[in-house]
Amino acid sequence: MLLHSNIIGEGKPFVILHGFLGMGDNWKTLGRQFSDSGFQVHLVDQRNHGKSFWSPEFNYEVLAEDLKRYCDAHHLQDIILLGHSMGGKTAMLFATRYPQMVSKLLVADISPRFYPVHHDVILEGLSALDFDDLKSRGEAEQVLGGYISDWGIRQFLLKNLYWKDKGRLALRLNLDVLKEEVGEIGEPLPSYASFEGDTLFLRGDRSEYIGVNDQTIIRRHFPKAKIATIANAGHWLHAENPEDFFEAVIGFVG
């Protein structure tokens, strides 16, 4: 099965991977900007997310292989690869497995190290959505509000809602599998994995995902890595400060 994507523009292939509970469409605005700069942008939905296929198997090994099949099917070589959070972990593993396919690697606000599970409340909120009773997005937001106080995170999650049938909402996420396999999200890059190519790690200045101690482990796996900080941004740095994020990416990829 092949991953779903939205392909924008023409030029050198630029593949973007979203984070946990996201989808390629989260990157549509930036994707258009990158395409206007001369790239063919591939906004990819990873398995169990967006419009891509569902599967009970979910870990970085299969996510990286999904991307390999996608690139092969679309005849993509010498790609620029950008991943955020979970997508960053997928991108890291892919680049270490298939270095000949990646011209430049960009990783947004995630380190190669292990992260403990920290999505419990969000998954509880999504699990509380009763689609037999919910009749509108507003009602869904009210339910999520009982679990998640941050308005921005609620809006991010609500993008996963769609009208499955007339008058009936549903989630594009394979929530059961993602809850079951959530521990896989924090798994580290294998200790032996390395990528010798040009690499840029981007971190939000208000995020704790990449700290001072992460610089050593980043450069152990990615010897050429540069680390840039995006001001006035947390973990969703591309959404919180898209202007500086865009400039940092374009400055790196040329």
* Residues tagged active-site: 85, 176, 235
- Cα separation, 222 vs 119, whole angstroms: 27
If phi over 0 gives left and psi between -120 and 50 gives alpha, with beta otherwise, what is residue 182?
A: alpha
- Cα separation, 244 vs 221, whole angstroms: 26
* Token pair recorded at residue 76: 């993509």
- Cα separation, 138 vs 126, whole angstroms: 14
* Token pair recorded at residue 223: 């010897």
Non-local CB neighbours of 106 within 8 Å, separated by 6+ positions: 80, 81, 82, 83, 91, 199, 200, 201, 202, 249, 252, 253
Q: Exposed/middle/buried for 212, CB within 10 Å: 0-12, 13-18, 19+?
A: exposed
* Token pair recorded at residue 149: 């106080």
